[in-house]
Amino acid sequence: MNFLIINGPNLNLLGVREKSIYGELSFESYFKDLKAQYHNINLEYYQSNIEGELINEIHRVGFKYDGIVLNAGAYTHTSIALADAIAAVNTPVIEVHISNVHKRESFRSKTMIGKDCLGTIAGFGLNSYRLAIEALLFGLDER
Ligand code: DQA
């Protein structure tokens, strides 16, 4: 089974940026632990601050991988192009947010990509990613 976690803009600064919201851990440290919990899955990670690169990555894996976990960062709230990319591929995509976007500024409650995703997980810190993987595995069992 092949799963890809895609992180969008500013998520390369996890552990450095706004620690009271996003925590103290870098994504690399979290990802190392996460991978160790899923020996029987090929779990990969990609990050870019560039919208088109995120779209290219969705296209690259979106017809062959079993699941994508996407934290599109602020592009979540603005990007029709990302929404179209998610709609274009076959691989199920789960929208993820570290923070509870509904408890923050009102513009963060709006998601352009949510309608094209299998579901959304938000507000559980970095564990949101693990919950998304569980949701993908659960979905695969159900199919
Ligand atoms: C975020 C929430 C977005 O509103 C914000 O722009 C981010 C991170 C989150 O994981 O909580 O960059 O996606």
Could you tell me which residues come within 8 angstroms of residue 111 by beta carbon, excluding any fewer than 6 positions away?
Answer: 76, 77, 95, 101, 120
Tell me how far apart the alpha carbons of residues 11 and 17 are, in angstroms, rounded to a whole number.
8
The residue whose two tokens read 């990613």 is 129
Give the model's confidence band at 142: pLDDT under 50 very low, under 70 low, under 90 confident, else very high: low
pTM of the model: 0.96
Q: Where are the alpha helices (DSSP H) in the chain?
A: 19-22, 27-37, 51-61, 80-88, 127-142
Ligand 1 centroid distance, CA of 124 (Å)? 12
- What confidence tier does 141 reach under pLDDT thresholds 50, 70, 90? low
Q: Is the CB of 70 under 6 A from ligand 1?
A: no
CA 34-37-40 angle, 5° bins: 115
pLDDT tens-digit map of 32-87: 999 999 999 999 999 999 999 999 999 999 999 999 999 999 999 999 999 999 99
Return the pLDDT at 22. Answer: 95
State if residue 71 touches ligand 1 by the CB under 6 angstroms criterion. yes
- b/e code 62-77 from CB counts within 10 Å (16+ = b): beebbbbbbbbbebbb
Residue nearest atom 12 of ligand 1, based on CA coordinates: 73
Q: Specify the pLDDT at position 139.
A: 82
| Pair 91, 66: CB distance under 8 Å | yes
In this predicted model, which residue has the larger pLDDT, 45 or 140? 45
Q: Which CATH class is domain 2-141?
A: alpha beta
Strands 67-71 and 119-122: unpaired
Asked if 57 contacts 4 with a C-beta cutoff of 8 angstroms, the reply is yes
- Residue 108 Cβ inside 6 Å of ligand 1? The answer reads yes
Q: Which pLDDT belongs to residue 140?
A: 73
Q: Where are the domains of the chain?
A: 2-141
Question: pLDDT, tens digit, for every residue of 98-130?
Answer: 999 999 999 999 999 999 999 999 999 999 999
